[in-house]
Amino acid sequence: MHDIGLKIALIGVMGMGAQWLAWRLRLPAIVLLLMAGFIAGPATGFVSPVEDFGAIYRPLVSLAVAIILFEGGLTLNFKEIRETSTAVRRIIIIGGPLVWVMTALSAHYIGGLSWPTAVVLGAILVVTGPTVITPLLRQAQLAARPASLLKWEAIVNDPIGALFAVVAFEVILVLIGQHQGGSLAYVVVAAFVVAVAGGYLAAKAIHWAFVRGYVPEFLKAPILLAAVLLAYALTNLVLEEAGLLTVTVMGIVLANTRIASLAEMRRFKETITVFLVSGIFILLTASLTLDDFRSLDWRAALFVGSLLFVVRPLAIMIATTGSGATLAERTLSSWIAPRGVVAVAVSGLFGGALAEAGIADADRMVAFTFAVVVTTIVLHGFTLGPLASLLNLKSAEKPGLLIVGGARWAIDLARKLKDIEVPVMIADPNWNHIAEARLSEIPVFYGDILSEEAHHSIDPKRFSTLIAVTDNDAYNSLVCTDFAPELGRSNVFQLGRGGDQSKRMSLNFTLGGRPLVEEGMSFRELRERHWQGWVFQATRLTEAFDYDAYLESRSDQTIVLLWVKPSGAIVFASGATGAPSTDDRVVSFMPAKDRRSNSGGDLQEAETN
C-alpha cells in the first residue's frame, strides 16, 4: 500500500505539471488533467480515491466544489452583463429546464438508462463548467458580449443544475417509498430561500466587518474562506447540495460591493481554485474503473451525440429567441457547453446514493457523465477559437499596449504605434494631457487607471503590455504592481527604475515593473530630449537590412525601445532575451538629424508607413 502522503503530493505535482504543460502547448488544461487522472487511477491503480480517503473523500470534493463556485461568483460583476442580461436570464430560466427534460428523454430512450437515473442525469448535465469555460475564454480571446454570455451561464448554471439534481433525487425517493412526499415541496422551497437569503446576508456581513476594520488584512482571505465553507455546510443541512447556490450568491454579492481588499482576496482564491480544480479532476478520473469504461457502449455514444447536436442547440435557440443576442452569438452558445468538475462531482454523489436506494443502473451515471465531460472538453476546447473566428466573434483588436501617462512624448509614441497598427490606449486623469491624443484619434481613458471605474471599463485582456510613464515614479511602481498579476510581471514596464537611484529613494525590487529603458532614463530626460526634437521612428527589418545593419546606420545616441513581431507581439528591448529578426518593426527614439542623415533608415521607414 502506497503512503497516502506521497499520493497527495504526487497528485499535486501531476496537477500543476498538467497545468504548466497546457500553458506551454496552448491546450485546454482539463484534457491533460483527465489524462493524468486516468494514468493515476484506471491505468496504473496507483490512486484509488474511495479506498485511500475513505469516508472523507466525497465531503472533501464537495467542499472543494463550493470554493470553486464561490471564486467563480467573485468574477461576476453586474456591469459586465448589461448587454447580455436578457439572453443569460433566458438561457438559465428557459434553457435549463429544456436541457433537463430533453437530456432525460435522450438518456432513457437512446442511452438505455432507467427513468430514475435518466432524470437525475438530465438535471446534472444542465451545468456548463466555469472551471473549463474560464481557461477556454482566456485562450480564445472572444469579444466582450459572447464571452460574458458564456461565463455568466457557466457560473450561475452550476448550482442550479445541482439543485435540479437534488429535486429529481428527492422526487425519486418519494416515488420508491423511501421518503414522505408531503414535505418535499416545503423543503425544496425553504432550501432555495435559505440558500439565496443566506448567501446574500453572509456576503453583507462579511462586507460590513471588512470595511469597518473589524478584521485585519492578514486574516481577511482566511476568514472569507472559512465563511464560505461554513455557509455551504449549514445550507446543506436543509437540503443536500443547496449550499452550492449559497456560495455562488455570496461570491456575486461580494463581487459587486466596494471592498478595498477584494482584488487581493480574489487572487488568493484564484490560486486555491487552480490547485483544487487540478486535484479534483485527477481524483475524480482516478475513481473510475475499467468496468466503468467498458459500460460505455454504442448507445452511450449516441446519447452524447444527441446532447451535443440536438439537445443543447435546440434548447439555446428556443431560449434566446428575441433576447437581443445575435444569430452568431446564439450559434456559438448553442455549441459551446463543456461540462466540468461540478458535473462529475455531483454525478458521483447521486450515482452512489441512487445505487444505495436500489436503482440497478445508477453506477452507469458516472461513466455517462465522464463521457460527456471528456467529449465536450475536447471538442469545445479545440473548436471554440476557430468557430469564434468563423462567426466573427473574436475580439477585433489584437492585444496591444496600455500607456499610463499622457506626456507629449508618450502621445508621439502612441501615434507611431498606431501608424504601424498596434492597438494602443492612453490613460491619464488630466484632461489637458489626453486632449491631444483624442485629436489624433488615439483611444483614451480619462481618469485614474487604479480607480474602480477603470477596473470596470478597461479589460486587461485587450492589452499584452503596459508602460507607466507619468512623472511620479512611485505612482508608476504602484500601477505596475497592480497590473502585474493580470498581465504578468514581465509585461509591465515603468520609468524611474534606473540604477542611479540612492538606496534611500529606491523601491523594493518586488514592487513595480521592469525598466522601460535599459539606460534607466528618467521622465525629465525623455521630456527634454523630446523638446530638443527627438522623434520616434518605426523601421521594418528585412533580410538585406537586418538588426546589425540597423544599428550601424544609427548613431550611438539612438534608444531602441521595442519591436513588434509580425504576429503583433510587442517585445521591449529592456526585457528581451534576443534580438529582433526579419519582418520585425523596430521602434526607436532618436535625434531628428539621425533620420535625415541615414538614407538606408529612411528607406525602411518609408516601407513601414
Taking the C-alpha atoms of residue 94 and residue 6, their distance in angstroms, rounded to an integer, is: 47
The three-class DSSP label of residue 395 is: coil
Taking the C-alpha atoms of residue 96 and residue 311, their distance in angstroms, rounded to an integer, is: 11
Residues with pLDDT less than 70, the chain:
1-2, 76-84, 131, 138, 177-185, 241, 260-263, 395-398, 452-453, 455-457, 459-461, 496-510, 518-520, 593-609
Q: How long, in residues, is the chain? A: 609
Taking the C-alpha atoms of residue 116 and residue 171, their distance in angstroms, rounded to an integer, is: 9
Taking the C-alpha atoms of residue 217 and residue 262, their distance in angstroms, rounded to an integer, is: 11
> What is residue 372's predicted lDDT score, i.e. its pLDDT?
92
Contact call for residues 77 and 255 (beta carbons, < 8 A): yes
3-state secondary structure 506-569: CCCCCCCCEECCCCCCCHHHHHHHHHCCCEEEEEECCCCCCHHHHHHCCCCCCEEEEEECCCCC
Q: Is the pTM of this model over 0.85?
A: no
Distances (CA, A) of 192 to 188, 246, 447: 6, 9, 42
Taking the C-alpha atoms of residue 160 and residue 171, their distance in angstroms, rounded to an integer, is: 16
Residue matched to cell numbers 440497478: 360
> What is residue 609's predicted lDDT score, i.e. its pLDDT?
39
Directed axis angle between helix 29-38 and helix 4-25, to 10°? 150
Domains of the chain, start order: 54-390 (1.20.1530.20), 397-519 (3.40.50.720), 533-609 (3.30.70)
466 backbone dihedrals φ, ψ, rounded to 5°: -135, 140
The C-alpha cell at 42 is: 484506471
Q: What is the pLDDT of residues 14-41, one digit of tens each?
A: 999 988 888 788 777 777 888 898 898 8
Taking the C-alpha atoms of residue 225 and residue 247, their distance in angstroms, rounded to an integer, is: 11
> What is residue 397's predicted lDDT score, i.e. its pLDDT?
59
> What is residue 600's predicted lDDT score, i.e. its pLDDT?
42
**Of 316, 344, 336, 328, the residue nearest 382 (C-alpha):** 336
Answer positive or negative: Cα dihedral of 88, 93, 95, 100. positive
> What is residue 303's predicted lDDT score, i.e. its pLDDT?
95
Contact call for residues 406 and 429 (beta carbons, < 8 A): no
Taking the C-alpha atoms of residue 468 and residue 513, their distance in angstroms, rounded to an integer, is: 9
**Of 139, 105, 128, 132, the residue nearest 25 (C-alpha):** 139
- CB atoms under 10 Å from CB of 532, counted, come to 9
Contact call for residues 154 and 129 (beta carbons, < 8 A): yes
